[in-house]
Amino acid sequence: MRYDGNEIVIQASRAATGTLRELSSAPTVESGFWGATLRLQFDDEPIHLLKGARFKDAVDFSDSIRSDWEAANQAEFEISRRAIDALLLEIEGLANTVAYPAACVVAPILERARGLDQRLLSKLPQEALEDVHRDQIKKTQSFVQHAQQIRQQAISAFEERQLFEWSDFFETFESNPLTPEQRESIVSDEDATLVLAGAGSGKTSVITAKAGYLLKSGARRPEEVLLLAFASAAAKEMSERIEAKCGEPLEARTFHSLAYDIIGTVEGSKPALAAHATDDKAYLALIRDILRALVKTASEVSKSIVGWFSHTRLDERSEWDFKKKHSYYTYIEKLDLRTLQGEQVKSLEELMIANWLYENGIAYEYEPNYEHKVSEGGFSDYCPDFRLSKSGIYLEHFGVRRTKTADGTYRLTTAPFVDREEYLEGMEWKRGVHAEHETTLIETFSYEREDGQLLEALAEKIAPFETVSPRSPETLFDKVVELNQADSFVQLLGTFLKHYKGGGYQLSECAEKGRTLKLGKRAKAFLSIFEPVYLEYQNQLDGRIDFEDMIFRATKYAETGEYISPFKHILVDEFQDISRSRGRLVKALKAQHSDARIFAVGDDWQSIYRFAGSDINLMRNFGDKFGGAFDGQSGVHRTVDLGRTFRSVDQIAHAAKRFVLQNPAQLNKTVIPAGTSDVPALKVVSTIKTDEKSKLKQVLQSLQGAAEQGKRASVLLLGRYRHLAPSNLSQLRREFPDLEISFRTIHASKGLEADHVVILNMFRGRTGFPSEIVDDPLLSLVSPEAEPFENAEERRVMYVALTRARKSVTLMGSASKQSAFVSELMDDPEYGAVGAHQKEEFNHPCGECGGHLVPVPTKDGRTWYRCEHASLCGNSLNACTACGTGLPVRKEIAGLRKCSCGAEYPSCPNCKDGWLVERRGRYGPFLGCVSYPRCKGKAKISAPKVD
């Protein structure tokens, strides 16, 4: 070690050089058996040890450095006195600050204090300082050590003063005084503040009052405040309210109008908006025209497009992926397997065969009657899968796969839910029929598809009998359009394109995500079509922009600094609906000013627009995405729970909260109801298809009877889809003059409220509620990650529906296909729902497939039951002979079935859901299955007992 009066040089394997100012502390010397050890350390460096020195030399060397080091720090302290005094004023000022001590405000003070302490204060010899200087150092170091606590105390003191000083403002801003929770949210001003505003909690009052508070308090000038809404109507309403309440003009903006202005500011002029940007029909028409043009002009793309409608649009699952018939049938019904010729088929492999035949100009019939009468005994006529019209050749597709056995032979297997022996017997029976009647049968097999050879094998087997005459891609596409099969694909492409542009995705990124999510060949096929569609779409913009371009381009200008933002307070309404691209724009604007704040108001329980690109994770991870940094912590933010609802009574408010929080990912919130109800507020009415209208009238009649004298009660009819609007709505309004009746879809009802809500058609099914029409999995390539909780978004849709009501909610349930949501509400007594037990006898499983038997009324007032999978399963039963409406169910007593009317029957020994009734045969009366001739179960009539 060498010291020359200013610089210290250490020569060792880890060499170092530093000045006195860079020493973190004075050197020290320790005596040891092998000589002295000199210890020395520079700032932010490991300790340097010199061992084996002579003790006196080490002490002299250390003392010379120590004296110079202390003198240098003393001199530095005198030079820094003004900075220290200023810093202490700021620290002391936190106790009585005139501005909210946000992280972005206090963090620079803490950084300066910590830097000063490390660089100077901690190095000063306390014994050489005056008392006043030691006190200053102590206060500074105490602030560094307890910054979190001191800032929190400053926040509490500031808010207490503000709540008192602005009490008149909070009392008079709205017709009713703002609640304590609303006031707290308004004076809170962290780097990022999230206000959890549940249904009916007055979020519009909060965000407009926040803007007014910022302006009237002088915290911000109007040009420094950005108020963002999603819809122009909401923006206009907020602007008008702020000016009316505060006398300050502040224009609320939509994201698109803001983005358009940013582009105009940077580019000097605003590019023209594409004609289809504000017209969804025109947008989808453009996508359809692009598809049609590609079919005509791009041969490889045309193959991909036609192939999509032929079969690649479907995922690669088969019967072997399902353990139960009911699950498989439900899956097939959702797919709606309709061929290019227009008929509905029963499996993906049948669809592939039918479409190959059509594409290649081979005329065929699907499931025709066999030309010879071969069925008897009451069984259905034999209908082969296909008949080729020109050659008369029959084609049967057999759902069997092959597994290799130990001896090298193959064993045929069937899907898990299929009786293998019975199926193989059926195959042999069909072969025997064709052999007996000398008709030609071609056979295809599921194992050919498994090997990727189904269509090649089909072509080879048909070649000796038929000549292919392929139809042109244009003809096939026109056929697709004619059958209305193109519309859903055009919608998918249009939605995908908007998400793709809005999120700034790349095709390679989408392809990689498709592999990660195991979307297989379907994703690859889709992207091969999307790429040319996207390129042509961009080409047709011809210099114009759409809304996605607006957000993306404006964000880029904000991120690069080409746009200089004046905004230091960004207030965002309906934050639960924010998308990835909009969140990125907000973040870019906030980043331009070190003291900028974001104030977001929303309710993650009402996040129901994932299909439009909203990303609930931006709200759930609000701090990580938008928060500040303080004292080593990132994501610093404030969350305020408004809690109180001004709308719903206790029974509705608490039930809605309990229902939505079944998903543990939802943010927990306090709910204080608007009032209490002495009568049940959550009711379930059970219906069957034929009495839905009459039951709705009964509900409206009861609501009209309960209406206050001389005052009309509002009734909001809600449906999951538009087509659920009652066709007799005008008649209902005339029939119930004391009720103000309206219909909305649940999505369109957000922001609305009514005395009473009636949720229509709550049945289990594709278009039921919860809806089984989920977003196409392909959208996950350009969408926020799907939530693992079952029906996560549908549960939030239900929450929105429940919380539109002030006094009561009536759920129109289904007697035969009950909604899972209704069942949950009825099964858990904590919800307090009443009703719906009177029709429980209609909830019967199908013995054939495990689905449900649906009651079908007849003209004579009786009922028969058929499986919900009517075209796939075909199981049906007559009702109880005694009452004509009920269905006998198996009782605990072995061998008996009992109807709700009291009638009892012996159970059928052969089938799962039949029972025995008296029949007459050649040898007299006997007991036969009610499902005869489909089921041949029978028994002898027991002789009467003789006393």
Nearest partner of 656 among 461, 820, 485, 797, judged by Cα: 797
E-assigned strand segments in 535-615: 569-572, 597-602
Max Cα-Cα span within the chain: 130
Q: How far apart are CA 842 and CA 885, in angstroms?
A: 9
Closest CA to 614 of 572, 583, 573: 583
Confirm whether residue 198 is marked as ligand binding: yes
Q: How far apart are CA 118 and CA 116, in angstroms?
A: 6
Does the annotation place 201 within a ligand binding site? yes
Which of left, alpha, beta for 574 (phi over 0: left; psi -120 to 50: alpha)?
A: left
Q: How far is CA 258 from CA 252, 254, 560, 561, 570, in A?
A: 10, 6, 17, 16, 12
The span from the CA of 225 to the CA of 216, in Å, is: 12
Residues 895, 900: Cα–Cα separation, whole Å: 17
Query: Residues 319, 320, 322, CA angle at the centre, nearest 5°?
Result: 75
Q: Is 520 annotated as a binding-site member?
A: no
Whether 613 contacts 580, CB under 8 Å:
yes
452 annotated among ligand-binding-site residues: no
- DSSP letter at 784? P
How many other CB atoms are found less than 10 A from the CB of residue 920? 9
Q: Where does residue 890 fall: left (phi above 0), alpha (psi -120 to 50 degrees), or beta otherwise?
A: beta
| Burial track 871-885 (b if 16+ CB lie within 10 A, e otherwise) | ebbebbbbbbeebeb
204 is in an annotated binding site: yes
Distances (CA, A) of 813 to 402, 642, 817: 45, 33, 8
Query: Of the candidates 57, 56, 53, which has an alpha carbon nearest to the alpha carbon of residue 35?
Result: 53
Residue 361 assigned as binding residue: no
Name the β-bridge partners of 230.
none
Of 684, 680, 504, the closest CA to residue 584 belongs to: 504
623 is an annotated ligand-binding site residue: no
Query: How do beta strands 924-929 and 938-939 pair?
Result: antiparallel
For 335, 715, 737, 761, 808, the CA distances from 707, given in Å and listed in that order, are 46, 11, 11, 24, 12
Give me the residue label for tokens 């072509």.
459
Helix (H) or strand (E) holding 897: strand 896-898
Structure-token pair, residue 705: 């009877």
Number of H helices, E strands in the chain: 30, 36
Cβ neighbours of residue 748 closer than 8 Å, sequence gap 6 or more: none
Residue 754, marked binder: no
CB–CB of 767/484 below 8 Å? Answer: no
**Residue 787 has what DSSP assignment?**
P
The answer to whether the CB of 798 falls within 8 A of the CB of 747 is no
Residue 759: name the closest of 708, 829, 694, 692 by CA: 692
- What is the full DSSP assignment across 718-777? EESSGGGS-TTHHHHHHH-TTEEEEEEETGGGTT--EEEEEEEEEBSSTTSSS---PPPG
β-strand pairing of 569-572 with 597-602: parallel
Binding residues for ATP: 197-204
Binding residues: 197-204
